[in-house]
Structure 1
Amino acid sequence: MAASYVLLLLAALLALASSPSMARDPGALQDLCVADNTSNVFVNGFVCKDPKLVQAEDFFFSGLDQPRNTTNKVGSNVTLLNANRIPGLNTLGISMARVDYAPFGLNPPHIHPRATEIQTVLEGSLYVGFVTSNPDNRLVTKVLRKGDVFVFPQGLIHFQFNYGTNKAVALSGLSSQNPGVITIANSVFGSKPAISDDILAKALGVDKKITWPLPTSSSSSLLSLLWLLPLPWPAIPVLSRTLFVNGFVCKDPKLVQAEDFFFSGLDQPRNTTNKVGSNVTLLNANRIPGLNTLGISMARVDYAPFGLNPPHIHPRATEIQTVLEGSLYVGFVTSNPDNRLVTKVLRKGDVFVFPQGLIHFQFNYGTNKAVALSGLSSQNPGLITIANSVFGSKPAISDDILAKALGVDKKIVDRIQAHF
């Protein structure tokens, strides 16, 4: 009986270890594990810098607003900000990329083996798509315009093509500090050493004397390499069901449409006439059902002049943010006992990282509006606004408790609570 129990427990542990939902970057076990790029020790990711030596620069990158050179074979250029470029991303499970496309430029069919990608168009328009795995090998496509958002599930072949005569620019969040990229043409036809032409001929059902296309070949020919696809169809939630699970239950894969991965209008300014002068548009699995199980979401934040996104926590996500317009004073606070405030002034094109679970804020100190775009490493990052939670809970936290915790007279607490 005991042996049967042990076998059952072992089987359960193996099932958990192999579960797709567990296929994410290892979680952070401390506030900060800034990558020490000088270390010769090999680990999964990077070893950590001494926390006492950490600076705001470790979470910062400048210049993401600058156009990139797209004079290459495919007419596109990807600027990836991962833990190599922003050491503070180490252990935080997210990265960001800017993609520039020349007219008729292509980001050719490729895979991110370790990340789901959520992308929004900042300029121009794109024809995008992904292909599901065997046996369906279904191509799901959409035309995106400025402000549209689309999701490319982890491990599936996907592409973006600028079919217009003007340049295009997109911004992506990816659910890994090192998402990896496998460009199908390069990997299949350009490996070193080369894959045997006998193997490729047999796999593709053609004569091996055929001259294989270069990595710049059309997306339609490359998308025929569907035997490379490793992962199952993404789990689209059925939002109308009453069954409670961690996340959402899945829609029948046969009923899935491109609309499940799509959102339009993220380029539109939001109303910031409220107490704090900011407005957050969060695109999570509630707004884009295709994000279910994929570990990432996106947000646009609009700030009025002197607008504040007040101190808050995302309990389930690291946030990586770039400024699209204006400038921001941003910061986060480390946990006890240091409680160290790390701050930075961000301008257009700058990028900053807010580690999961730490109190952080953004403030527009200028007389013009500001706009920022964020990627978050959860399909449902959650939000705890400190002031609302502490002073506006329902029922209210006892003023005796708050007075004692804050070291003030409880009449002050009562006065603050009256505002919530």
Structure 2
Amino acid sequence: MKGAQFLVCIVAILAFATSLVSASDPSPLQDFCVALNDTKLGVFVNGKFCKDPKLASANDFFFSGLQTPRSTQNPLGSTVTPANVDQIPGLNTLGISLVRIDFAPNGLNPPHTHPRGTEILFLQEGTLYVGFVTSNPDNRLFTKVLNKGDVFVFPVGLIHFQLNVGHTNAVAISGLSSQNPGVITIANAVFGAKPPINPDVLAKAFQVDDKLVTYLQKQFWQAVFVNGKFCKDPKLVTANDFFFPGLQIPKSTANPVGSTVTAVNVENLAGLNTLGISLARIDFAPNGLNPPYTHPRGSEILIVLEGTLYVGFVTSNADNNRLISKVLNKGDVFVFPIGLIHFQLNAGNGNAEAIAGLSSQNPGVITIANAVFGSKPPINPDVLAKAFQVDNKLVDYLQKRFCYKNN
């Protein structure tokens, strides 16, 4: 009897520990769960009701207009435009979202935290001074000045900020490792709580007198709306561990598919380890293709920075392998659910450029043609001939082709 009780205790402890280490959104158990406001037509998952998958369309994974600058006429000189599950219902259960941040000269995205998501920021225009503060007891400040094309990571839950230190407007795009990462602006939460926090609490916490606390509580606090590695000794970590330069530089697309993917994942940005998010830049020549592929460990949310892309993904067998596709223009956003085959084709006459956030520090990539016909050693031709319902000669021909890897 005692042995059984001990076993139950161990199981309970392990279950509790597992719940503690699961810091990101739970993994989806279906292709997608498009959020729905009508409670009569869906199933409740991750805080949203799910649309019947048969009624889902490309528009459920689409958001338009993120290329448009937002007004920064506010006390802070910055505005955050979210593309999360509230704007893109197809993000529900997929554990990733995106924001655009506009800064006036000297504009500030004030110290804040995302309780449910790590942030990876790409600076599209301007110069930003950014930083985050580690948890107690160290409270170390990691800072960096970012220029156009630079990338910086803000770990989940840590207080962080961005300040425009340039003389012109600045624009940044951030991926977040949650469909709804939440935001807590420190000044607003501490001094602008409703109802107010007892001044005695704040006076003692900040080691100031009650009069100063009362003064601060009466101020108008402008809210910004923001919807397999070894670890380095934390004392040896520097800002460079969270920094990657040069993503503004176009990459050569002189290859058979006419596209090149530049990844910013844990392999080249060590600070991403355990944080569950990464980034990629995709360059396209006219008619360039990022050929059908999957990310086995991550959903993808893509914004078109330049050009016109025809994009799509194919649902799983249970949904009869439906193609959900869309033509995207500059500023448009599209979501590719984890594990599903998807692609992007430059449908315009000029070059195209996109930035994609991924809900894994190392999402992996499987290019379908390469994996099926270019595996090493080759898959038995009889297997492929039967799978694709063709003769062995065609399989042999395809296996001899050079399948170019663009990433």
Q: Check whether TM > 0.5.
A: yes
Amino acid at match of 1:354: F
Partner of 1:242: none
Measured after TM superposition, the shift of residue 107 of structure 1 is: 0.3
Report 1:13-28 matches (<5 A): 13-19=15-21, 22-28=22-28
Out of 249, 252, 255, which is 1:274 matched to? 255
Measured after TM superposition, the shift of residue 43 of structure 1 is: 5.3
Amino acid at match of 1:31: D
Report 1:186-335 matches (<5 A): 186-210=188-212, 211-212=215-216, 214=219, 247-335=228-316
Q: Secondary structure at the match of 1:345?
A: strand
The answer to whether structure 1 residue 360 and structure 2 residue 342 are counterparts is yes
Q: Is the 8 A contact 2:192 2:221 kept in 1?
A: no
Q: Is the 8 A contact 1:45 1:91 kept in 2?
A: no
Q: Is the 8 A contact 1:33 1:90 kept in 2?
A: yes
Q: Secondary structure at the match of 1:47?
A: strand
Q: Is the 8 A contact 1:185 1:215 kept in 2?
A: no
Partner of 2:322: 340
Measured after TM superposition, the shift of residue 9 of structure 1 is: 2.6
Amino acid at match of 1:297: S
Instruction: Pick closer, same or farther for the CA change 1:413–1:252 going to 2, 3 Å.
Output: same
Out of 91, 113, 116, which is 2:115 matched to? 113
Amino acid at match of 2:195: P
Measured after TM superposition, the shift of residue 109 of structure 1 is: 0.5
Q: Secondary structure at the match of 2:317?
A: coil
Report 1:65-144 matches (<5 A): 65-144=67-146
Amino acid at match of 1:255: L
The answer to whether structure 1 residue 33 and structure 2 residue 33 are counterparts is yes
Question: What is the RMSD of the two structures over their aligned residues, measured on CA atoms?
Answer: 1.4
Out of 20, 45, 48, which is 2:47 matched to? 45
CA distance in 2 between partners of 1:179 and 1:2 (Å): 40
Amino acid at match of 2:233: D
Measured after TM superposition, the shift of residue 384 of structure 1 is: 0.4
Measured after TM superposition, the shift of residue 164 of structure 1 is: 1.9
Out of 181, 199, 203, which is 2:183 matched to? 181
Count of aligned residue pairs for this structure pair: 389
1:65-89 Cα offsets, whole Å, 9 max, x none, are: 1100000010000000001100000
* Moved >6 Å (runs of 4+): none
The runs of 5 or more residues in structure 1 that have no matched partner are 218-246
Q: Secondary structure at the match of 1:7?
A: helix
1:235-257 Cα offsets, whole Å, 9 max, x none, are: xxxxxxxxxxxx21210000000
Measured after TM superposition, the shift of residue 2 of structure 1 is: 3.3
The runs of 5 or more residues in structure 2 that have no matched partner are 223-227, 403-407
Out of 14, 30, 39, which is 1:12 matched to? 14
The answer to whether structure 1 residue 58 and structure 2 residue 55 are counterparts is no
CA distance in 2 between partners of 1:258 and 1:58 (Å): 38
Partner of 1:350: 332
Out of 365, 373, 377, which is 2:359 matched to? 377
Partner of 1:386: 368
Partner of 1:398: 380
1:6-60 Cα offsets, whole Å, 9 max, x none, are: 32232222211212xx111121111121001233786532111011111111111
Out of 384, 401, 405, which is 1:419 matched to? 401
Amino acid at match of 1:348: K
Percent identity among equivalent residues? 65
Query: Relative to structure 2, which stretch is displaced further, 4-13 or 159-168?
Result: 4-13
Amino acid at match of 1:7: C
Q: Is the 8 A contact 1:74 1:216 kept in 2?
A: no
The answer to whether structure 1 residue 408 and structure 2 residue 386 are counterparts is no
